[in-house]
Amino acid sequence: MKLGEICKVLDIKCNCPDIEIRGINTLKEAKEGEISFFHNEKYKRHLLNTKATAVLIEEKYKDLLPNGVIALITDEPYLKLALLTKYFVKEPWEDGGYQVAKDSKIDPSVRIAKGVKIGKNVTIMPNVTIGPYVEIEEGCVIYPNVSIYRDTKLGKNVIIHSGSVIGSDGFGYAHTKNGEHIKIYHLGKVVIEDNVEIGANTTIDRAVFGETRIKKGSKIDNLVQIGHNCEIGENSILVSQVGLSGSSKLGRNVVMGGQSATAGHLEIADFVTIAARGGVTKDVKKPGVYSGFPLMPHKMWLKLQAILSRMLKK
């Protein structure tokens, strides 16, 4: 879209040059020809160094922009971003040519969209749907009724069990002053690296921008929810009913017990174990075993339970 057209559809006053905008991205990742947004002061360092062509921003912050970056002034930059995403979303389905290696076994009921690439020795069982430009490398096994949305990439020897959904939109909305919920269309993708196994009825959301990534060797149980832009480190284990909010970043060999969960935009260090029903609300910076809500070292949680038990007996 031309920048002037963007200003028109967003009802923003701007005497903008007739620049073509090719996409939307975060302040940190944006390149020339992309538009970004600023709505939270904790990202101020990214604002100061952004390479975006234009930024949706409040008047009071416009002087923080680097020279040459165009300020699109609005009182509601996040809401304007949400409204803009629908103009950049790609078609969810396109018919056309695709590539399948000769020795792969694809059930006749499988639906395959345009641009899909399926490698050697892949098995895809009945009623699987594969969206446009998905890449599936050799040795993968996909069980019945799996849905893989467009632009997803599967590495070698990935196993996906029945009913799982890979690449659906994350749960992202901006809110108007009247309380309406405006959908943020998710424009990123999902990348699943080699030797990952994904259980039945698990969902992995695509990124808003960039990617949601599951690193090699990780094992994900049934009924797990992984939000948009999450990163799961190598050889991690997520047990049934784990829920990861958007932009959670797990290090390598992290174990999360059943029904444990994270708040969004936090990091968990390498070799951390979160016990069942543990609630992670802030960064976990040191390896170890943690329990409870709010989260604490497991030994401390055991002592707390013992103290509470004694109090109840008095």
Active site residue ranges:
228
Q: Select from 130, 165, 173, 170 the least CA-distant residue to 151.
A: 130
Report the distance separating Cα 296 and Cα 288, nearest Å: 10
Report the distance separating Cα 235 and Cα 228, nearest Å: 20
CA distances from residue 244 to 49, 190, 207, 221, 234 in whole angstroms, order as listed: 29, 15, 13, 13, 16
DSSP notation for 54-84: EEEE-GGGGGGSPTTPEEEE-S-HHHHHHHH
In DSSP terms, 175 is beta-bridged to: 181
Report the distance separating Cα 31 and Cα 68, nearest Å: 13
Q: How many beta carbons lie within 10 A of that of residue 215, not counting itself? A: 21
Report the distance separating Cα 10 and Cα 122, nearest Å: 45
Residue for token digits 């002034």? 73
